[in-house]
Amino acid sequence: MTTNRNRFAITLVCLGMALGAEGVRAQADNLIEPHWRITHTVTAPWAPAAPSSNVAPPWVGHALTFQTNAVRGPGVLTCGHAVIEPTHYPAEGLFQGSLPAPAATAAQALGIMLLPLAGVRLTCDTGVFEFHRVDAETLLLGLDNQVLTLSRAPGALAEANSPEGRVQRLLEAHFKGDMGFTPASTKSKQDWLSMRLKQRLALYFAKPVSADEVPVINGDPFTDSQEYPTRFAINEASVSGSSADVPVRFADAYRNRNVTYRLVRERGAWRLDDLLYEQGETLQGLLK
């Protein structure tokens, strides 16, 4: 993708299951919802191999707001004199035609399954930005050599210290860092974990492991996956006293999975104490 100081090629693609015809028409009527949050970023499939050209701007956690005639966000994502019109693209037209061939395969790697995608084109005084929609909660944004993910799910718009807001920031850190289940990766999340969970994790990693045995936890327990998902959406919490259950949906181009994040109020903040999986298992149970 080529850019210059006055024109930046940006494409936003909603993640998740594709909208039906009625959903597409409803989204076109509303054009685009106002409030979004940048949640994580990956290197774009069109990026050159040189690492120095693939560094993402530190925009995770920043808001993007669409106003009547303007957009407010970090860096080049702030612009005025905004005009929005509907679009509809096959895989080859996504990201202004920047996906490598076969474009449908490259789109799937980014979590896009059903094509073509309806969307909108934003023209404003910093450039032309195209938004390709597949659901109402999550967007992909192609900016130079990066693909940024944005969300408007309840967790993305929640207060930082709410149960949803705490899980949002935990997962933003998780997707930004090492998603492998290792002592180092769990240590980096210490501030979001309860004392009980930290103790259980320490005991689990202290157990001797045979190279001939498959570990009890074989994959990423935070996303319930071995192949990491491309996006997450945090829904409204169910709070009872000092406990809260926060439903989280993880997805890619092939499947959705749901994990309930169970929090406790501890040392003045909501902290993760357990994870409940669709099969009925829990993280605490697997750690025993």
Instruction: Report the phi/psi class of residue 267: left, alpha or beta, with left for phi > 0 and alpha for psi in -120 to 50.
Output: left
Chain centroid to CA 30? 23
CA dihedral (17, 222, 65, 121) positive or negative: negative
207 vs 193, higher pLDDT? 193
Cα→Cα distances 84→92, 110, 175, Å: 22, 25, 31
pLDDT, tens only, 87-101:
888 999 998 999 999
Rounded percentage of the chain residues whose pLDDT exceeds 90: 63
pLDDT, tens only, 31-80:
889 999 999 999 999 998 866 556 667 899 999 999 989 999 998 899 99
Residues of the chain with CATH 3.10.450.50: 156-287
**Separation of alpha carbons 25 and 200, rounded Å:** 49
The closest of 47, 37, 30, 49 to 12, measured between CA atoms, is 37
- At 169, which amino acid appears? R
Q: What are phi and psi of 32, to 5 degrees?
A: -155, 140
Whole-model pTM: value is 0.87
CA dihedral (174, 177, 183, 184) positive or negative: negative
Mean pLDDT (the chain) is 86
| Burial readout 209-247 (b: 16 or more C-beta within 10 A, e: otherwise) | eeeeeeeeeeebbbbbbeeebbbbbbbebebeeeebebb
Q: Are strands 83-89 and 117-124 parallel, antiparallel or unpaired?
A: antiparallel
The closest of 259, 260, 237, 229 to 154, measured between CA atoms, is 237
pLDDT, tens only, 225-265:
999 999 999 999 999 999 999 999 999 999 999 999 999 99
CATH for 156-287? 3.10.450.50
